[in-house]
C-alpha cells in the first residue's frame, strides 16, 4: 500500500510540474528607438501592475518567463515615453516595441535633509579609478568588430516634393521599413563593417590597430582606403574614466570625473544584478543644460565601485551647433588584473537640419571587443604605424564568410540597408550630386586617372595681374600608386605674363612615409607670405591673390624635397631650393653699406634646408597618394628648421644661416575649454636684404586671421631675430551659458594674444637703400627691446556662423598709422 501511494504521489508531482510548464508564458522581443531604429539597452520591461519583468540587454533584447502573467507588458526607460502592449497568456510569443523620446521626462531630484546617498558612491568611484581604469594596465590587446551606418533622417513632406527627391521616390517608398513599423523614414547612405586587432601599451603611450577585413558600401564611396582607416575601433573609443572626453572636436566632462559635483546632479534610483555583479543605478544630469555634459544612467558595481554600464546622452539644449543628440552606451567587463575594459560600445550622433528645407543625418557606430589579453606589451617598433591595413582587407568575401567574422549576426534591418544603398548608387541624379559634393570638398574634379583643379584658383583679380585665370591637374591613385604628377598654368591679362607650376613626386615607401619631390614654379608672390608654411590655409592663400597686391614680386623657383619618417612621430625633411627675386614695388639694397652709391633690386638665392619634426602621438591616415595628419592627442608638435644659403651656387648672391624652432600644443583647460598655443623663435646670423629676413605678416583687412598679427600694418616689422607667442583660448559656453536670455543665443567667448619680441641689427638696417624703398615698407623694426603685443577678446557662434573679435594693440602706439583698436569679423563653420 505504501509503495502504491508513493508511486501515485510521484506521478501526481510530475504531472503537476508538466501542467505548470505547459502554462508558462514566454514573451521575448526587442526594444528600439522610433526615430533611429537602434536597439535600446537597459530598458525595464515588466507586466503592468506587477514586479514581474526583466531588463533589455545591450542589443535591446529581452525575455520574460512566468507562470503567472498579466495581459499587458510595459516598457519604460529614462528619456522615453513608456509604452504598453497587450500579450497573450501561455505559449511563446514575440513582441517588439518602439519607444519615442520624451524631452520632458527628466525627473526632478529631491534632496532631503542629509547628504545625497549617491554622493558616497561617486566618491568611492573616484577613489577606485586607479584600480578600475584600463589605463593602469601596462598593455592590452583584443579582437574588435566595428559597424558604422550613416543615414538621412527627418525627411519632411516638403523635402519629398523636391525634384531630386522625387527621382528617388521609388527608394523612399520602401525606406519606411528601415526604422520599423512605427518609425520615421530613414534613407541609408553608408554602412561598413570591419574586423581588427587592437594593441595598446603604456609608458610610452602607444597604440596600433591592424585592420584585417573591411566591408564598405556607400553612396559616393569608391576606393574606400580612407574610409577603411576611419571605420576601425580607434576612432570609436571613449573612456569615461577620463575627466574629459573629446567628441566631435569638443570636450565633454565625464559623469565620473574627479570634479563630478561641480557639473552634475545625481539620483540613486535602484540596485540590481547585472550578470553576477550587484550594481547601484544612478541617474545623472548636468547642473546647467547648456554645459557640454551628459544626461543618463550609470551602473556602479557594489564591490569594486567600477563602471559596469553607462547610457549617456547630450541633447539639443547643449551649446552645440547642428547636433541634435549624442548618445554613448557601453558595457564593461573586468580583466584578470582588475581594470575594466568596454566589451560593447554604441555611439549615435544625430545631426540636425541646417535649414527647414533640408534633412538631418544619423551616424551610428557599434563596436564589440573580445579575446582580451593584458600586460603583454610588444616592442616599441611594433607600434610605429598606428593604423595598418592588411593587403587583402578590401577583398569582398561572401556573406557566409562574413557571418564567421561578425561577433553577432546582422539584423534584418541592416541587411535591408545594404540592399537599399545598392539601389541608390545606381540612380543617375544621386551620382551627379555625389560628384558635385566631392568637388566642393576636395577642390578637384575626378575625370578618371587625372583630377582637374583646384577650382578655388580658377579666377582672381589684383592690381598687378589684373584678371588672372588658372587651370591645373594632378594624377591620382588610379594612374599610379607610386608616381604623382601635377601642373598648373596661369595668365594675368594685366601684366601679360604666364605663370606655371610643374611637379613630380615619387612615393618611395608607404610604411615609413618616404617621398621625393621635384617642383618648378614661376609666379607672382607676396613678400612675407611663405606658401609652404601656409599649406593648411588654402583659403587664406587664395584670398591673397585678390585686391591690392602689396609687396609683390616675381619669382622663379626650383626645389627638390626628400622626406622620410625615421620612426613614429619623427620626420626628417631635406630641401634644395633655388629662387629669384624681381620686385614690383620700390626696393633697393646696397652691396656695401659703407659705399652708398651702387645698389641692387634683384637677387638670387640657393638654399639647403633641413627640417626636423617630432610629434610623438600624431595620427595620420593615407588618402590615396597623400598622407593627412589628424593632429596630436597629448604631446606637442616640435619643429626645427635650419637653412643654409650658398653664395655663388647657380648664381646665388648671398651666404647665410637661419635657425627656427616652433612648438605647437593643444591644451585641454577643463571648464575653460581648449587652448591653442604656438611658441616660435628664429635667428638669422648674417647681414642680408630684408626680403631674406623675417617680414612679420600683418593684416590690414577687416577679416580676422589666426596666422597674422591683426593690428600690425603690412611691412611694419622686419627682424633678423625674434621670439613669438600666439595664444587662443576657446571658452565654449563658459560664463555665457549662465546668463539668462543670453544662454539661449549659444554665444561663446574667446580670448587671443599675439606677442612678438625681436630686433633688426644695425648692419641689416644700414643695408637698406631708403631712397628707393617705399615709405610704407621702410622697416624700423623693434626698438628698446619692447615686444609687440595685441590682446583680443571675442564672441563666436553668432547665428552659428559669425565670429567677431575685438583686438587692442598694446605697444608701439606711436608708429605711423598704427591702429590701436580693431573690430574684425570671421565666418566659420563649427560644431
Name the least confident of 17-26, 467-476, 569-578: 17-26
Domain boundaries, given as residue ranges, for the chain = 22-99, 117-435, 449-466+473-539+553-616+637-654, 664-831
pLDDT tens readout for residues 607-645: 999 999 999 878 777 777 888 777 787 889 999 999 999
Residue 59: pLDDT band with limits 50, 70, 90: confident
| Strands 788-798, 307-314: pairing kind | unpaired
pTM of the shown model: 0.73
Q: Is the pLDDT of residue 731 over 90?
A: no
DSSP 8-state assignment for residue 703: B
Distance CA 417, CA 400 (A): 18
Residue 363: pLDDT band with limits 50, 70, 90: confident
Q: Choose between 497 and 433: higher pLDDT.
A: 497
Q: Which residues of 385-417 are buried (b: 16+ CB within 10 A; e: fewer)?
A: bbbbbbeebbeeeeeeebeeeebeebeebbebb
Q: Are 91 and 26 in contact (CB under 8 A)?
A: yes
In a 10 Å sphere around its CB, with 0-12 CB exposed, 13-18 middle and 19+ buried, how is residue 800 labelled?
A: middle
Q: Give the chain's largest Cα–Cα span.
A: 140
Q: Which residues of 296-316 are buried (b: 16+ CB within 10 A; e: fewer)?
A: bbbbbbeebbbbbbbbbbbbe
Residue 818: pLDDT band with limits 50, 70, 90: confident
DSSP 8-state assignment for residue 80: B
**Range 22-99: architecture per CATH:** Sandwich (2.60)
Distance CA 709, CA 782 (A): 15
Residue 742 is predicted with a pLDDT of 78
Q: Is the pLDDT of residue 492 over 60?
A: yes
Name the residue among 574, 520, 528, 575 with its Cα closest to residue 553. Answer: 528
DSSP 8-state assignment for residue 511: T
Q: Is the pLDDT of residue 264 over 70?
A: yes
Residue 626 CA neighbour count, 13 Å, CB half? 10
DSSP 8-state assignment for residue 470: E
Name the residue among 261, 267, 310, 311 with its Cα closest to residue 287. Answer: 261
For residue 349 the three cell numbers come to 550622433
Distance CA 424, CA 442 (A): 23
pLDDT tens readout for residues 562-584: 999 988 889 999 999 999 999 88
Number of other CB atoms surrounding residue 379 within 10 Å = 8
At residue 546, the 3 state secondary structure works out as coil
692-716 average pLDDT score: 83
Q: Are 784 and 664 in contact (CB under 8 A)?
A: no
Residue 160 is predicted with a pLDDT of 65
The share of the chain scoring above pLDDT 70, in percent, equals 81
| Strands 91-94, 25-33: pairing kind | parallel
pLDDT tens readout for residues 107-147: 454 555 578 899 999 999 999 999 999 989 999 999 999 88
Distance CA 594, CA 609 (A): 31
At residue 661, the 3 state secondary structure works out as strand
Q: Is the pLDDT of residue 823 over 90?
A: yes
Amino acid at each position: 500500500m505504501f509503495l502504491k501511494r508513493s508511486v501515485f504521489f510521484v506521478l501526481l508531482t510530475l504531472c503537476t510540474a508538466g501542467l505548470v510548464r505547459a502554462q508558462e508564458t514566454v514573451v521575448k522581443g526587442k526594444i528600439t528607438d522610433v526615430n533611429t531604429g537602434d536597439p535600446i539597452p537597459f530598458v525595464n520591461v515588466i507586466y503592468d501592475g506587477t514586479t514581474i519583468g526583466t531588463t533589455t540587454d545591450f542589443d535591446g533584447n529581452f525575455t520574460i518567463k512566468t507562470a503567472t502573467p498579466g495581459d499587458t507588458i510595459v516598457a519604460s526607460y529614462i528619456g522615453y515615453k513608456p509604452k504598453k502592449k497587450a500579450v497573450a497568456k501561455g505559449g511563446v510569443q514575440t513582441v517588439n516595441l518602439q519607444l519615442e523620446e520624451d524631452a520632458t521626462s527628466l525627473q526632478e531630484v529631491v534632496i532631503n535633509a542629509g547628504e545625497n546617498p549617491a554622493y558616497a558612491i561617486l566618491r568611492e568611484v573616484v577613489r577606485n579609478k586607479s584600480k578600475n581604469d584600463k589605463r593602469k594596465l601596462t598593455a592590452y590587446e583584443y579582437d574588435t568588430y566595428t559597424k558604422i551606418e550613416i543615414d538621412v533622417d527627418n525627411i519632411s513632406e516638403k523635402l519629398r516634393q523636391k525634384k531630386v527627391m522625387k527621382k528617388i521616390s521609388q527608394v523612399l517608398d520602401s525606406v519606411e521599413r528601415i526604422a520599423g513599423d512605427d518609425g520615421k523614414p530613414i534613407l541609408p547612405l553608408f554602412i561598413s563593417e570591419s574586423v581588427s586587432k587592437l594593441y595598446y601599451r603604456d609608458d610610452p603611450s602607444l597604440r596600433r590597430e591592424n585592420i584585417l577585413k573591411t566591408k564598405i558600401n556607400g553612396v559616393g564611396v569608391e576606393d574606400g582606403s580612407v574610409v577603411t582607416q576611419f571605420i576601425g575601433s580607434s576612432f570609436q573609443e571613449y573612456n569615461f574614466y577620463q575627466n574629459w572626453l573629446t567628441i566631435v572636436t569638443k570636450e565633454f566632462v565625464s559623469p565620473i570625473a574627479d570634479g563630478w559635483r561641480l557639473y552634475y546632479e545625481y539620483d540613486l534610483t535602484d540596485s540590481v544584478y547585472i550578470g553576477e555583479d550587484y550594481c547601484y543605478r544612478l541617474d545623472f544630469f548636468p547642473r546647467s543644460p547648456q554645459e557640454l555634459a551628459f544626461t543618463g544612467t550609470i551602473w556602479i558595481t557594489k564591490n569594486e565601485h567600477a563602471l559596469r554600464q553607462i547610457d549617456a546622452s547630450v541633447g539639443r539644449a547643449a551649446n552645440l551647433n547642428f547636433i541634435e543628440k549624442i548618445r554613448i552606451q557601453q558595457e564593461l567587463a573586468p580583466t584578470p588584473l582588475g581594470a575594466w575594459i568596454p566589451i560593447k560600445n554604441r555611439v549615435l550622433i544625430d545631426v540636425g537640419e541646417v535649414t527647414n528645407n533640408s534633412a538631418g543625418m544619423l551616424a551610428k557606430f557599434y563596436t564589440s571587443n573580445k579575446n582580451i589579453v593584458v600586460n603583454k606589451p610588444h616592442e616599441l617598433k611594433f607600434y610605429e604605424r598606428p593604423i595598418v591595413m592588411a593587403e587583402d582587407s578590401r577583398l569582398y568575401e561572401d556573406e557566409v564568410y562574413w557571418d564567421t567574422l561578425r561577433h553577432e549576426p546582422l539584423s534584418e534591418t541592416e541587411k535591408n540597408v545594404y540592399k537599399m544603398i545598392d539601389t541608390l548608387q545606381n540612380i543617375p541624379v544621386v551620382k551627379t550630386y555625389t560628384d558635385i559634393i566631392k568637388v566642393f570638398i576636395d577642390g578637384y574634379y575626378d575625370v578618371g586617372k587625372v583630377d582637374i583643379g583646384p577650382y578655388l584658383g580658377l579666377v582672381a583679380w589684383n592690381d598687378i595681374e589684373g584678371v588672372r585665370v588658372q587651370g591645373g591637374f594632378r594624377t591620382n591613385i588610379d594612374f599610379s600608386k607610386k608616381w604623382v604628377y601635377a601642373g598648373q598654368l596661369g595668365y594675368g591679362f594685366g601684366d601679360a605674363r604666364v605663370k606655371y607650376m610643374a611637379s613630380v613626386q615619387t612615393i618611395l615607401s608607404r610604411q615609413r612615409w618616404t617621398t621625393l619631390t621635384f617642383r618648378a614654379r614661376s609666379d607672382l608672390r607676396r613678400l612675407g607670405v611663405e606658401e609652404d608654411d601656409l599649406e593648411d590655409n588654402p583659403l587664406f592663400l587664395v584670398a591673397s591673390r585678390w585686391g591690392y597686391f602689396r609687396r609683390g614680386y616675381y619669382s622663379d623657383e626650383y626645389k627638390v624635397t626628400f622626406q622620410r619618417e625615421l620612426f613614429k612621430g619623427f620626420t626628417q625633411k631635406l630641401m634644395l631650393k633655388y629662387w629669384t627675386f624681381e620686385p614690383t614695388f620700390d626696393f633697393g639694397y646696397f652691396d656695401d653699406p659703407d659705399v652708398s652709391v651702387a645698389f641692387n633690386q634683384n637677387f638670387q638665392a640657393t638654399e639647403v634646408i633641413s627640417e626636423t619634426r617630432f610629434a610623438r602621438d600624431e595620427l595620420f591616415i593615407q588618402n590615396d597618394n597623400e598622407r593627412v595628419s589628424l593632429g596630436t592627442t597629448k604631446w606637442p608638435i616640435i619643429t626645427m628648421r635650419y637653412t643654409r644659403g650658398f653664395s655663388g651656387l647657380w648664381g646665388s648672391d648671398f651666404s647665410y644661416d637661419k635657425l627656427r624652432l616652433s612648438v605647437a600644443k593643444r591644451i585641454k583647460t577643463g571648464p575653460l575649454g581648449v587652448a591653442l598655443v604656438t611658441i616660435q623663435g628664429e635667428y638669422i646670423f648674417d647681414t642680408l636684404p630684408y626680403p631674406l629676413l623675417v617680414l612679420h605678416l600683418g593684416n590690414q583687412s577687416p577679416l580676422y586671421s589666426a596666422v597674422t598679427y591683426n593690428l600690425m600694418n603690412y611691412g611694419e616689422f622686419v627682424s633678423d631675430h625674434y621670439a613669438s607667442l600666439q595664444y587662443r583660448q576657446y571658452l565654449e559656453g563658459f560664463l555665457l551659458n549662465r546668463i539668462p536670455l543670453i544662454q539661449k543665443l549659444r554665444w561663446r567667448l574667446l580670448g587671443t594674444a599675439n606677442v612678438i619680441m625681436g630686433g633688426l641689427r644695425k648692419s641689416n638696417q644700414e643695408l637698406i637703400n631708403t631712397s628707393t624703398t617705399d615709405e610704407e615698407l621702410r622697416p624700423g623694426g623693434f626698438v628698446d627691446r619692447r615686444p609687440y603685443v595685441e590682446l583680443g577678446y571675442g564672441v563666436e557662434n553668432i547665428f552659428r556662423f559669425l565670429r567677431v573679435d575685438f583686438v587692442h594693440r598694446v605697444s608701439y602706439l606711436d608708429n605711423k598709422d598704427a591702429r590701436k583698436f580693431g573690430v574684425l569679423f570671421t565666418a566659420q563653420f563649427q560644431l
